[in-house]
Amino acid sequence: MIETRPALSTELDQVRSIRAQSFVTLREVYRPLPNALPVDAASDPLLYDLIAFISGRAAGVVGISQRSMDMRVSGLAVLPEFRNRQVATALLEHAHRLAQDSGCGVLRLFTIGETGNIPIFERLGFECVAETVADWCVSDRFDTLHDVEMIKRC
């Protein structure tokens, strides 16, 4: 069983560690330019992180922010040993419930298209609504990277 809840202030080092360990595989696809912020991080300050546990062990995190009638998720990260065990699904479902409870119209996220994550998010009920060149990051594998905006209606 997966438990999700807001991360405690005493767990912030653990949240950072989960992201660092989880993003290693993403950095094989892209890496941010120095001092660059992705689209979602630049415009929406983080409210808090949700953290997921399996059998008492921290397994994943996602950041939550809200602007107007949108709730956004960012920094979704699942530790490699917990992947393919529904951790991302549990975190995004929790975020979706929060968006609904807050009266938001949509849950929004951004992903780099070249990571291969779009089909995963689509299976979780998200749809692509926009795509732009991701000029805030670079890749050794791809000439051009794409920032893909996805939403799940509440």
pLDDT of 70-104, one tens digit each? 999 999 999 999 999 999 999 999 999 999 999 99
The reported pLDDT for the residue numbered 52 is 98
Ramachandran quadrant class, 116 (left: phi over 0; alpha: psi -120 to 50; beta: rest): left
**pTM assigned to the model:** 0.91
Give pLDDT tens digits for 24-71: 999 999 999 988 765 544 455 668 899 999 999 999 999 999 888 899
The token pair that represents 153 in the structure block: 């209606």
**Average pLDDT of the segment spanning 128-147:** 96
Burial 102-112 (b: 16+ CB within 10 A, else e): eebebbbbbbb
First to last CA, the chain: 25
Sign of the torsion angle spanned by Cα atoms 9, 70, 77, 50: positive
Alpha helices in the chain (DSSP H): 12-22, 39-43, 87-101, 118-123
> Is 99:154 a contact under the CB 8 Å cutoff?
yes
**Domain, as residue range, for 146:** 2-153
**CATH number (domain holding residue 116):** 3.40.630.30
Number of domains within the chain: 1
Report the helix count and the strand count for the chain, using DSSP H and E.
Answer: 4, 9
Alpha-carbon distance values, 111 to 3, 7, 54, 79, 107 (Å): 25, 23, 25, 18, 13
Strand partners, 49: 63
- Determine phi and psi for 129, rounding to 5 degrees: -125, -15
